[in-house]
Structure 1
């Protein structure tokens, strides 16, 4: 939560994002799969698989 990320390629002209919500599954036994990220400037929110953030070709942690 609240971790900062930079997109390697801008998404709708946005590069800097903040994780604002962890989407918890209905069944507590299931693993968390999705998070909501918010663009810093436009405040637009989108849902992505948290594993996408681990792809260093698409995302880097922190704001660069």
Structure 2
């Protein structure tokens, strides 16, 4: 498994539920998001694969691979 870049966040997927995120390039005024669900594959003892992010302003939600939150050019942890 490749090592993350030095400045990458060390996210624990089990602790992502209800975490807050800021999109650095807002689309449709959607800037602040909250993780509303953790999605695992349908087989036993599966690790978290996807998360559901919900925009605070519009309540629009979408699924995203949880590791994409490590991209500091797109996401920032917390609401800023």
TM-score of the superposition, structure 1-length normalised? 0.91
Q: Which residue of 2 aligns with 1:26?
A: 42
Q: Which residue of 2 aligns with 1:39?
A: 55
How well do the aligned residues superpose, as a CA RMSD in angstroms?
1.1
If you compute each CA radius of gyration, which structure gives the higher value, 1 or 2? 2
TM-score of the superposition, structure 2-length normalised? 0.74
4+ runs of 1 displaced by more than 3 Å?
none
- Structure 1: 5+ residue stretches without partners: none
Do residues 14 (structure 1) and 30 (structure 2) align?
A: yes
Q: CA deviation at 1:4?
A: 0.2
Q: CA deviation at 1:28?
A: 2.5
Q: Separation in 2 of the partners of 1:61 and 1:46? A: 18
Do residues 61 (structure 1) and 77 (structure 2) align?
A: yes
